[in-house]
Amino acid sequence: MELTTVWFLAIAGLWIGYFVLEGFDFGVGTLLRVLGRNEPERRAVITTIGPVWDGNEVWLIVAGGATFAAFPEWYATLFSGFYLPLFAILVSLILRGVALEYRGKRDDLIWRGRMDSMITIGSVLPALLWGLTFANLVRGVPLDASFEYVGSFGDLLSPFALLGAVAFTAVFVTHGAIFLALRTTDDLRARANRLASRAGLVAAVLVIAFLAWAQAIRGDTGSWIVAAVAVVAFAGGLVANRIRREGWAFLGTALAVGLAVASLFAAMFPAVMPSTLDPQSTLTTVDAASTPYTLKVLTVITGISLPLVMLYQGWTYWVFRKRITVEPVAVSEAAS
């Protein structure tokens, strides 16, 4: 197998890891005010992702860095064409990270309410924009013969792209609700379980429509099969959630997210940026790749460092695997 193909698969794997892990904490952040009816409950909701959210974002950093190193032309075209949505994602993630870190620094309900709003916005907006971005990667964008993006922001707002934005968000909300049902207790667990069932039905309709449309645009037999298995896994997760088997439910939605993203990459390959203007302007893995020597060096470095990162993150999840209880706390109405 050529190194360009190996690195395309590696980058696809990094994005799969990112969306499986960051997907549930986007969902948790989105549901912070929905399921958290008071301060103790909101604190419990945040505590479920507190030890892991920043580790989940490492996958995004590595995916971006790997794309820059292995496929610099892809990186350049992507960031020039998707500058506004990617910049908005970056700002949202910064605000979300600040809010998660500083929420508990002041014993003040107004302060914490503002931080909660930042967490919610910083969770909903990236989910929408990642869906918009990946839908456009599958559909294609206007590229000229030099692989330069020649469209406008409005070209990114097609009906298919908007469906992708809503579908990604709905799936993440369901994934996050199931994670909360897995990690919390008592009434909060029961409400998260019920919300996951309701949101999951909406998400199932949206994701079936999106994946079917995506495969109709740029799919083959292999990507169709992967997309179909993703739908089956999602349905299995919803069934497990209905019978209060949250561990199996979370496994189902995690597999569904991973397989759905895999089906999008499989539909694209060997293109990384399809052109809607001229098939000859489509940017492929070969066109976008670095030199063979660079790819060899990257392969050695990644082979050493990536297993260590995965072991550390797996250890973190294992240590913080216990359920979170909701305990009342005294919070002043104003800063002391």
Alpha carbon 216 to its chain centroid, in Å, reads: 23
Q: What is the pLDDT of residues 14-34, one digit of tens each?
A: 999 999 999 999 999 999 999
Contact 65, 88 (CB under 8 A): no
> What is the structure's pLDDT at 309?
83
Structure tokens at 294: 């660079």
Amino acid 335: pLDDT:
35
Query: In the structure encoding, which two tokens stand for residue 219, read together?
Result: 């799919």
pLDDT in tens, 167-215: 999 999 999 999 999 999 989 999 999 999 999 999 999 999 999 999 9
Does residue 329 surpass a pLDDT of 70? Answer: no
State both tokens at 17. 């890891």
Residue with tokens 């870190």: 101
Query: What are the pLDDT digits (tens) for 250-286?
Result: 999 999 999 999 999 999 999 999 998 888 889 999 9
Using the predicted structure, report yes or no on whether residue 331 has a pLDDT greater than 80. no
Report the pLDDT value the prediction gives residue 233, as an integer from 0 to 100.
96
What rounded mean pLDDT belongs to the chain?
91
- Average pLDDT value for residue range 133-162: 91
pLDDT digits (tens, 9 = 90+) for 33-49: 999 888 899 999 999 99
pLDDT at 1 over 70: no
Q: ∠ CA 66-299-82 to the nearest 5 degrees?
A: 15
Question: Coil, strand or helix: which one is 199?
Answer: helix
pLDDT of residue 139: 92
Share of the chain above pLDDT 90, in %: 68
User: Averaged over 133-141, what is the pLDDT?
Assistant: 93
Give the alpha-carbon dihedral of 329, 95, 49, 23, to 10 degrees.
140
Give the list of residues 6+ apart from residue 32 with CB closer than 8 angstroms, or none.
Answer: 42, 45, 46, 116, 119, 120, 123
DSSP 271: E
The single-letter code of the amino acid at 165 is: A
pLDDT (average), residues 148-175:
93
pLDDT score recorded for residue 208 = 96
For residue 336, what pLDDT is reported?
31
pLDDT in tens, 207-240: 999 999 999 998 889 999 999 999 999 999 999 9
Q: Is pLDDT at 334 greater than 50 in this prediction?
A: no
Burial of 170 (0-12, 13-18, 19+ CB in 10 A): buried
pLDDT band (50, 70, 90) for residue 328: low
